[in-house]
Amino acid sequence: MAPSAAHTADGISSPIDLALIPPFWRRKNGILLYFLLTSSLLASAALGIDGSMTNGMQVLPTWQDQFGHPQGSSLGFFGASSSIGGVVPFIFLGWISDKCGRRLPTALGSIVIIAGVFLEFFATSLHMYIGGKIVLGFGSSLIQMGAPVLVTELSHPKERVQITTFYNTSIVLGYVIGAWATYGCFRISGSWSWRLPTLIQIIPSAYQLSLIFFCPESPRWLIAKGRMKEARKILVKYHGECDPNSVIVNVECAEIEQVLAKEAANNMTWVDFFSSIPNLKRLSLCFATAVFSQSSGNLLVSNYLTQILKDTGVKSQKDITLVNGMVTLWQYIVALSVTVCINKFKRRTFFLIGSGGVSLTFIAWTIGAQQYLDHGSIAAGRLVLACIFIFQAFYTMAWTNLVVTYPLELVTYQMRAKTWAFVLLTIQVATIFGNYVNPIALQDIGWKFYIYYCIWVAFIFIFVYFFFVETSGPTLEELAYIFDGHDKKKHISAETQQHKEREIRTQTESLGECSDSTRSV
């Protein structure tokens, strides 16, 4: 029997029949909406390229000679530097998305990333290159303080889950671009073998900067600021297909207004947030999602695959960069597949299959690594290589896509931006720890380090099974009550339905009055 967490969304149903709404490519402004949202959907691409090249640069002799062959703690600091820079915005600029809107952080972050890339490009020492990565990490985190929230709040209800899930595939796309750029450039003699892949990181940020202010602002943010006319105009154009009396627009406006009114009446502060048991549950699950997403072994593969491959018998520059490219491409294919299938299965299904698969894969990985390193078994080395691909599939299924979707579904509007900043801060801190510790542990204790991962990912699976709640089904506003008791959920659902019916009736009466006036004229 499934635990109670599997049934948390029961009793919350949406009045919008999304099955009757045509897909975005058949709607007048659907394609335009998601084209404009690519300015936010590419938020993590530059960081993905940077992470992939953290792997790739370790193979390039020209980069190694230029920067002194970093190992151990120096390599760990190099790998963690982007995350170190990424911590700063969440500590000092957590307010920016709520005060200035969802788009401004993307514009500012893109400019900062471009500056960081140029610092890396002209680097003459390892410290200067690391400084560029720190600046890049700062800019990437600044972008992520607004971009995923904008994607979640602006997407059409029919595609919201798929688009939000698709959001974090941009970091995997960055992995693919960085890995194959490194593979294509490793034959170049001289410093251009590493400078050219470094320069490629500018492309996604320049694209975002050029497009972000053509994208509409979040309707929920506008309504929260008392700008209902602007918000309704955006919803009518992109969700109602220019129909001012669209039922779905009326429903959305009614839901947003009601939820924001209740939250404003509560006037929740951070002290209130932390003293509320339902909100502590939300925050605990957001924290767990962030930590688990960065401690399930992904940092080994994404940043230190070079060291792992050398311990499986893959030695040449060509083979290492080729495998790196193939692993990232495989992960991107899996990430896109999860995006397509996200509405066909429950959130817990992805989490449980993914985390369970990771746990079993690490057991096989550990055995293979021990047999190859201690006994020289070629077959065991190939087993580890296969485990890397299998691991990426299971990890991506559980964490790559849902690390954005799931936390944003758990929290209310009022806390969404702040909680998302908290999630990203947790991700950055967990990444710093993992990126710094992993190369040191691999160098000092070798395959025995994988035993720790076997134990830890088994714990993650158990935690997910008993505590991760189900969130698929309801709209964002309806999910705000997911942690309330059953009776309150029924009361809120009934109250929301009545509010929607009044809103629709008002719109219908207004339309009838307009028709009467037209006939009399």
Output DSSP code: residue 314: -
Q: What was the pLDDT predicted at 352?
A: 95
- The answer to whether the Cα torsion of 443, 445, 450, 455 is positive or negative is negative
**Contact between 9 and 482 (Cβ < 8 Å):** yes
Long-range pairs of 122-126 with CB within 8 A, sequence gap ≥ 24: 123/67, 125/67, 126/67, 126/68, 126/70, 126/74, 126/78
Low pLDDT (below 50) residues in the chain: 1, 7, 9-12, 511, 514-515, 517-521
Q: What was the pLDDT predicted at 207?
A: 93
Output DSSP code: residue 213: G
Q: What was the pLDDT predicted at 487?
A: 53
CA nearest to 52, candidates 30, 82, 24, 11: 82
Distance CA 87, CA 78 (A): 15
Distance CA 449, CA 441 (A): 6
Distance CA 361, CA 32 (A): 42
Distance CA 306, CA 427 (A): 23
Residue type, 433: F
Distance CA 126, CA 132 (A): 10
Q: Name the phi and psi angles at 471, rounded to 5.
A: -125, 0
The residues near 516 (Cβ < 8 Å, ≥ 6 apart) are none
Place of tokens 């939250």: 263
Residue 439 has which token pair?
Answer: 């190369």
Q: Where are the alpha helices (DSSP H) in 93-168?
A: 96-100, 104-121, 126-144, 147-154, 160-167
Secondary structure of 352-397 in HEC code, one letter for each residue: HHHHHHHHHHHHHHHHHHHHHHHHCCHHHHHHHHHHHHHHHHHHHH
Q: What was the pLDDT predicted at 497?
A: 59
* Helix axes 413-445 and 402-410, enclosed angle (nearest 10): 140
Q: Name the phi and psi angles at 242, rounded to 5.
A: 70, 15
Distance CA 225, CA 473 (A): 28
Looking at CATH, the fold of the domain delimited by 4-248+276-510 is given as Growth Hormone; Chain: A; (1.20.1250)
**Contact between 281 and 483 (Cβ < 8 Å):** yes
* Helix axes 160-167 and 402-410, enclosed angle (nearest 10): 130
Residue 141 has which token pair?
Answer: 């985190």
CA nearest to 335, candidates 400, 403, 406: 400
Q: What was the pLDDT predicted at 18?
A: 67
Dump pLDDT digits (tens) for 171-220: 888 888 888 888 888 888 888 888 888 888 899 899 999 999 999 998 88
State pTM to two decimals: 0.76
**Contact between 240 and 232 (Cβ < 8 Å):** no
**Contact between 329 and 424 (Cβ < 8 Å):** no
Dump pLDDT digits (tens) for 266-295: 556 667 667 777 778 888 999 999 999 988
Cβ count near 300 (within 10 Å): 24
Q: What was the pLDDT predicted at 114?
A: 94
Place of tokens 């309806």: 478
Q: What was the pLDDT predicted at 514?
A: 43
